[in-house]
């Protein structure tokens, strides 16, 4: 039982290669943040080493050890957990060559208990060029018992030489309905709340599950949204102080900008009368009011300003400056 929400085509393909014993030595799962790339990689790691009948069974010792993160043959080379191996690069953290070397020396050993040694590298686009070159050596001549699972936003962000040696799965966000049903069935949420969280998640299953379990997440979203709604009426100085506040926190800034993008996209949809596609379904009254206050062209322009700021954030450009520009682009209320 894979128990993954969405991505059924990918699971069917993976299941098929498992059944036929036709395993690749490297896979890349790509797609937007939090749609379930790492979850799928972990399920594949389980399926590879599962000793149960219906792989991944989720019940056997191997499956349980992998879910607990204590299986000796399955290693998550995660930025957050590998602090000792991080290299500082332009103010952000990157996966350095030492992390990849440590994978290589580990990969040379035979598995301790499982059939496969599995290394999961989430956000592989954060590798330094040195690390990527080092990884390439393993991909060129992988030890027979090793499987590498990478995740990335997009294959374009990885070295083409790496991509060409991996099997690629481009994951699409699961539908709102699918997420809502899963929240009700598997996480026990009541219908209305499941529906709201599913709509707000915009296909980010990881976010949906977190919001289902942590009330603070929705509260935070409401606060940020209120702030967003007050900004078009705010003076220049207040807008710039906003840029200053979030300008040194790239991760938070990314979340806020993603929230804004969703809101302004909703304004566009409201303006066009496409209500069924909107995310912020609990604020439809305000959406309708706000949509009245802005011209269509204004909304479209600001959406592209937000996209631009997000891109600058991804490429590690001066975040505060990007937010200041965005604040000045923000249309005033009529």
Please select the residue that binds Zn ion; options are 63, 198, 209, 261, rule is CB under 5 A: 63
Interatomic CA distance for residues 41 and 118, integer angstroms: 10
Interatomic CA distance for residues 246 and 241, integer angstroms: 9
Residue 60 touching Zn ion (CB under 5 A)? yes
Residue 1 touching Zn ion (CB under 5 A)? no
Please select the residue that binds Zn ion; options are 18, 57, 136, 178, rule is CB under 5 A: 57
Please select the residue that binds Zn ion; options are 1, 23, 32, 52, rule is CB under 5 A: 52
Comparing CB distances to Zn ion, the nearer of 64 and 293 is: 64
Comparing CB distances to Zn ion, the nearer of 60 and 217 is: 60
Please select the residue that binds Zn ion; options are 47, 50, 197, 267, rule is CB under 5 A: 50
Backbone angles phi, psi at 132, to 5 degrees: -65, -45
Cβ(144)–Cβ(110) below 8 Å: no
Interatomic CA distance for residues 139 and 109, integer angstroms: 16
- To 5 degrees, how large is the angle CA 10–CA 11–CA 12? 90
> Residue 118 CB, nearest distance to Zn ion (Å)?
14
> Residue 64 CB, nearest distance to Zn ion (Å)?
8
Examine residue 32 and say whether the peptide bond preceding it is cis (omega within 30 degrees of 0): no
- Show the tokens assigned to 143: 């030890």
> Residue 53 CB, nearest distance to Zn ion (Å)?
9
Comparing CB distances to Zn ion, the nearer of 60 and 303 is: 60
Comparing CB distances to Zn ion, the nearer of 63 and 194 is: 63
Comparing CB distances to Zn ion, the nearer of 51 and 128 is: 51
> Segment near Zn ion (CB under 5 A), from 59-67, 100-108, 186-194, 251-259?
59-67
Comparing CB distances to Zn ion, the nearer of 48 and 146 is: 48
Handedness of CA 212, 218, 221, 225 (dihedral sign): positive
Residue 44 touching Zn ion (CB under 5 A)? no
CA distances to 6, 53, 64, 67, 242 from 59, rounded to whole Å, are 22, 10, 6, 10, 49
> Residue 48 CB, nearest distance to Zn ion (Å)?
10
> Residue 108 CB, nearest distance to Zn ion (Å)?
26
- Show the tokens assigned to 239: 């807008």
> Residue 238 CB, nearest distance to Zn ion (Å)?
55
Residue 228 touching Zn ion (CB under 5 A)? no
How many residues form the binding site for Zn ion (CB under 5 A)?
5
Label residue 37 left, alpha or beta by phi (over 0 means left) and psi (-120 to 50 means alpha).
Answer: alpha
> Residue 1 CB, nearest distance to Zn ion (Å)?
9
The widest CA-to-CA distance across the chain, in whole angstroms, is: 68
Interatomic CA distance for residues 315 and 250, integer angstroms: 11
Label residue 202 left, alpha or beta by phi (over 0 means left) and psi (-120 to 50 means alpha).
Answer: left
Comparing CB distances to Zn ion, the nearer of 15 and 93 is: 15
Binding site for Zn ion (CB under 5 A): 50, 52, 57, 60, 63
């Amino acid at each position: 039982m894979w128990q993954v929400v969405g991505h059924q085509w990918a699971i069917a393909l993976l299941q098929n290669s498992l059944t036929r014993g036709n395993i690749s030595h490297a896979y890349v799962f790509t797609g937007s943040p939090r749609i379930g790339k790492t979850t799928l990689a972990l399920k594949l790691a389980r399926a590879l080493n599962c000793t149960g009948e219906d792989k991944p069974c989720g019940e056997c010792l191997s499956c349980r050890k992998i879910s607990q993160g204590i299986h000796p043959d399955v290693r998550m080379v995660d930025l957050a957990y590998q602090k000792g191996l991080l290299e500082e690069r332009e103010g952000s953290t990157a996966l350095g060559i030492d992390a990849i070397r440590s994978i290589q020396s580990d990969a040379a050993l035979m598995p301790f208990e499982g059939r496969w040694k599995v290394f999961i590298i989430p956000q592989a686009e954060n590798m330094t060029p040195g690390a990527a070159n080092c990884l390439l050596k393993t991909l060129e001549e992988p030890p027979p018992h090793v499987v590498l699972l990478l995740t990335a936003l997009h294959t374009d962000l990885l070295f083409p030489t790496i991509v060409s040696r991996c099997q690629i799965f481009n994951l699409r966000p699961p539908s709102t309905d699918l997420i809502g049903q899963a929240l009700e069935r598997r996480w026990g949420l009541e219908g209305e709340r499941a529906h709201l969280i599913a709509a707000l998640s915009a296909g980010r299953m990881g976010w949906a599950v977190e919001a289902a379990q942590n009330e603070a997440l929705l509260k935070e979203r409401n606060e940020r949204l209120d702030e967003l709604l007050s900004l078009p009426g705010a003076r220049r100085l207040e807008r710039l102080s906003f840029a200053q506040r979030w300008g040194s926190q790239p991760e938070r800034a990314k979340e806020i900008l993603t929230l804004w993008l969703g809101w302004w996209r909703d304004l566009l949809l409201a303006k066009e009368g496409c209500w069924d596609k909107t995310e912020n379904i609990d604020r439809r009254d305000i959406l309708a009011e706000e949509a009245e206050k802005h011209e269509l062209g204004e909304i479209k322009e600001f959406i592209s300003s937000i996209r631009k700021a997000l891109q600058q954030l991804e490429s590690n450009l001066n975040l505060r400056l990007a937010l200041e520009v965005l604040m000045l682009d923000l249309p005033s209320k009529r």
